[in-house]
Structure 1
Amino acid sequence: MSASADLVRQFWRAMSANDWTAAASLMAPDAFTLWPQTGEVIPSARFAEVQAAFLGDGDWQFEEMALVDGGNEVVTDMRVTNLPLGILARVITFHTIANGQLVSQREFWPDATEIPAFRQGMLVIDPDHARL
């Protein structure tokens, strides 16, 4: 694994510890996180504040499902849970690293969807395998 992948894993460990300040400390001063689905851009200076504003502080867990190490570009697929709030989600994040710091992140939070009618009954449904 590259130093970039190690940095990204360090970021997710801080997130899983619900230590938003530690996660933000891994970001360059001019870094940002982009949530394309809502158009929000979170500058690194506000990252910890935004994370702390979510309900369920202290109960967020992030489990790595996959990591693709492309050197200065790392992609993660994380399983996100907050059991007291009943949240089970996935986040796909594209991390860009420069000079040993996160410089940008693009996060996609896909919603679970219903199986289309034309495919119902055609395939095996296995949430354990899919780890939804």
Structure 2
Amino acid sequence: MEATEVVRRYWSAVWSRDWNAVGRTLADDVEVFWPVTREIIRGRDNLVAVNSEHPNGWSIDVLNVYDAGDVVVSEVQVPQEDVGIFRVVSMWTVADGVIVSGREYWTLYGGEEGRDWRRKYSTVGDIPS
């Protein structure tokens, strides 16, 4: 199976909340790093638990999945009721048909104001995915 398909299956399984299917996309010793919060999630069971125990009220829209050679990059939008919309850029390493590691940048869409000094060079808006 192609690495991009493994990542697509991962996100599809998370969205459908099929935790057994999520586990089948992950190596036993998968390691995922979230740089924004400096959290490291080690092991299939822990990553499945992080996803399954997250409060409900969310959905997942896969915006893009790119084959970048040794890694697969995905861009996902996660609307969360009463919170807002998260955007997630993930870099996944896939080997032998499973995700073995990842680095995910979760951010609240529009959650930060641009810097004053850049306003003369930019506008605020949305670019279609």
TM-score range, shorter chain: 0.7 to 0.9
Counterpart amino acid of 1:119? Answer: R
**Which structure 1 residue ranges, 5 or more long, are not aligned?**
none
Q: Where do 1:1-132 residues align within 5 Å?
A: 3-42=2-41, 43-56=43-56, 59-82=57-80, 84-111=81-108, 112-120=111-119, 123-127=122-126, 129=127
User: Is this contact kept in 1: 2:14–2:51, CA < 8 A?
Assistant: no
Q: How big is the shift at 1:122?
A: 5.1
Q: How big is the shift at 1:98?
A: 0.6
> Higher helix proportion, which one?
1
Aligned mates of 2:87, 2:98 — CA distance in 1: 24
Could you say if the C-alpha distance between residues 124 and 130 of structure 1 is closer, same or farther in structure 2, counting changes exceeding 3 Å? farther
**Which structure 2 residue ranges, 5 or more long, are not aligned?**
none
- Identity among equivalent positions (%) equals 26
Counterpart amino acid of 2:65? Answer: L
- CA RMSD, Structure 1 to Structure 2 (Å): 2.1
Per-residue displacement from partner, 1:77-126 (whole Å, max 9, x unpaired)? Answer: 111112x3343010110100111111011111134310222333654432
Structure 1 residue matching 2:112: 3-state secondary structure = coil
User: Is this contact kept in 1: 2:8–2:65, CA < 8 A?
Assistant: no
TM-score by length of 1: 0.81
Q: How big is the shift at 1:71?
A: 4.0
Counterpart amino acid of 1:52? Answer: S
Aligned mates of 1:125, 1:38 — CA distance in 2: 26
Structure 2 residue matching 1:60: 3-state secondary structure = coil
The number of residue pairs the alignment matches comes to: 126
